[in-house]
Chains A and B, each alone.
Chain A
Amino acid sequence: MSGAATVSSSEAHKLVWEGSVPLLIHLHDSEVTTLPPPPPALVLAPRLGYLPLLISQLKPYFSTTLPPGVDTLWFEYRGLPLKWYIPTGVLFDLLCVEPERPWNLTVHFRGYPSNLLLPCEGEDSVKWSFINSLKEAAYVTKGNCKNVMNMSQSDQVELWRSVLNGNLESYQRVSSKLKLGTFEDEYTENISAVSTASQQNSGEADAAAQVKSGEQKLYVNNRIPVRLYVWTVTEDFDDLESAPQIDNWDKISYINRPVEIQKEDGKYFSLNDAIKSLLPEYFPGSSFDNLGDASTKQSVGDEGENTCDPDSSSLPLENAEIKLVRIQGIEPCLEIPFSWVVNNLMNPEYFLHICVCLKVSEANALQ
């Protein structure tokens, strides 16, 4: 993505906030009580939003045909119930490998699969989940969630509304008070320098000036909130159409682990480095290893089935290959500085969601 350096931060944010997925939503057969059955609803869903929030748009299409009962909204894609707390854009990037436009989904208003999906009581549940993630992101970057807990009621309302309505200006106004900051490193300086020429905001020029010293600013402990969704294939696929279908959530490895920035002289921390640091089991040779303090690895007794004995690897090292990376619907060049990716492509709750396809050997595939 060689154009990255010339897209200013504000332009990138605007593109991300305007991103949407066209959905063609069909009511499940079992809930159609009228003839002819209602046609599917065509809806433009914001990437940064969540599926249950579409209920107000969907209900009018289907209300006259639904069987009696209480609405318990849920969605599925080719038989896979969709996790409602994952942003719509991420679901699309993850499950629709060959992007389908519009994306055909099935909606249910009855028969919620509560053994599989967390309960969802409408907008309140989605809002709670969003604020909870925001607190977690704050904890990761600052070591505490005080800034989120201390938000005024009106700020909280405005923050949530701005996400609901896709209002970037309103969002920036409130979220800047949280001071969750941006990730700066000496490479961001070069990119910001290009963008500051077109910036009216003197605040950003100051930030760029501060960064010239090469310091990393505003992230405590250099931890970045990231949510990685990994699926594996055992063979190369020439085109996306022949990529295997994800029909089960067990085939996706969900990794909710912060990326720890490690600086090496003369080398900047790229997107590739970040992804590999989160997958040490597949990329053990990676120079940026994330799994904590190596000096405390010790075997504490051998308890038989209670094996707490991490013997050193005697198996051949896995030669995994990153086949596909999708963030906000784009497939960025993996050598881009991670700082740019974080600052421009993260979601409103300050998490960066990354969908990754790995090619691995048969034995190490996720079944």
Chain B
Amino acid sequence: MDQKESVRDITPWDGTLSSSDFFSAACAFSEKWKRFNAFVPPWLWVPSRKHHLLSSHKEEGYLSLEGMCLIKSSEEQESCRSQTWKEESSISQEEEAVDNATLVQSSCDEVNHYDFHIVYSPSYRVPVLYFRSYHSDGQPLPFGEIEKDLPDHSAKIRSESKWTFITQEEHPYLNRPWYKLHPCGTSEWMKLLFHGDTALNKNGFVIEHYLVSWFSVIGQVVGLKIPLGMLETLSC
């Protein structure tokens, strides 16, 4: 087992983690993401603004994945609707390479931009996913449009689980309204996830795996997939 990983007793783990644990887990998560996701932008650690000169607490901040573009085909039928994520910069490169004939077609496609932040909640002691969406001109998307962007199974997850719902709240650091997945049930399902997965718990609870496990569930609600390779690292 990797010397760097810290192990905790399994019981009685309540599904939560401390602020400094979150920092460790965030570093591990972003490093693995980079390793397994060659064509997608990395998650960057953003130190919280007020601490930029006080290095002893550089650990306070959040993970950021910005400039994700959701490309939807102009197909009317839901079954044909595909959801592809691309990086903002790769889209502009593609457009340059396309000739006039296909440009006309692609102008029917909408591109919605998404920014995702993973922020630690000291009250709930769990990570929280915040996101916002806007058109290419910067205009924010109304929630009705965001719902159309979310994968079909997202609505199912959200309606079935009393723990997973989207609310609009102010971003803890940025003084702007963002959407978030409410954290009140997170510790419960993280606990269940951990106890129910022999691969996860055979080595005891390992902090560095927290965000990978967490994201494997949360990502589904917003349609961000976690590569299989990343999930497999949980069992080593």
A contact residues vs B (CB 8 Å cutoff): 83, 114-119, 132, 135-136, 139-140, 143, 145, 225, 249-250, 253-254, 256-258, 280-281, 284, 291-294, 296-298, 300-301, 303, 305-315, 318, 363-364, 366
Contact = CB atoms under 8 A, between A and B. Distances in A.
Interface residues on B, range: 35 or more
Interface string B7-45: 000000010001111011011101100100000001011
Contacts of B145: none
B219 interface: no
Complex A-B, nearest 9 residue pairs according to Cβ-Cβ distance, in ascending order? A292-B18, A308-B27, A313-B56, A257-B122, A300-B27, A292-B20, A292-B19, A249-B175, A281-B54
Interface centre among B14, B57, B172 (most CB of A within 10 A): B57
B141 to A, nearest CB: 12
Nearest to B55: A313
B50 A307 contact: no
Contacts of A315: 53-55
B27 A301 contact: yes
B65 to A, nearest CB: 12
B176 A116 contact: yes
A314 B123 contact: no
Interface in B136-189: 140, 167-170, 172, 175-177, 184
5 contacts: A119-B168, A284-B56, A307-B45, A307-B58, A312-B56
Given A249-B175, A364-B54, 9 more contacts: A114-B140, A115-B177, A136-B123, A140-B123, A143-B14, A293-B21, A296-B6, A309-B58, A310-B59
Contact of A291 (B14, B20, B172, B207): B20
Contacts of A250: 175
B77 to A, nearest CB: 32
Contact of B50 (A118, A309, A366): A366
B135 interface: no
Interface in B112-130: 122-124
B31 A301 contact: yes
A139 B184 contact: yes
B59 to A, nearest CB: 5
Contacts of B27: 300-301, 303, 308
Given A136-B124, A305-B44, A310-B59, A298 B24 contact: yes
Q: Classify the secondary structure of A's interface with B.
A: loop
Nearest to A260: B122
Given A307-B58, A364-B54, A256 B44 contact: no
Contact of B45 (A140, A291, A308): A308
A353 to B, nearest CB: 14
A80 to B, nearest CB: 11
B51 interface: yes
B184 A118 contact: no
Nearest to B172: A256
Contacts of B45: 306-308
B20 A258 contact: no
A257 to B, nearest CB: 4
B51 A281 contact: yes
A253 to B, nearest CB: 5
Nearest to B182: A132
Interface centre among B47, B50, B177 (most CB of A within 10 A): B50
Nearest to B18: A292
B53 to A, nearest CB: 6
A308 B54 contact: no
B184 to A, nearest CB: 6
B49 to A, nearest CB: 8
Contacts of B31: 300-301, 303, 306, 308
A234 to B, nearest CB: 14
Contacts of B59: 291, 297, 310
A291 B207 CA distance: 17
A181 B208 CA distance: 36
Nearest to A230: B50
A297 B228 CA distance: 29
A315 B24 CA distance: 23
B232 to A, nearest CB: 20
A5 B139 CA distance: 55
A119 B208 CA distance: 37
B207 A310 contact: no
Contacts of A291: 19-20, 57, 59-60
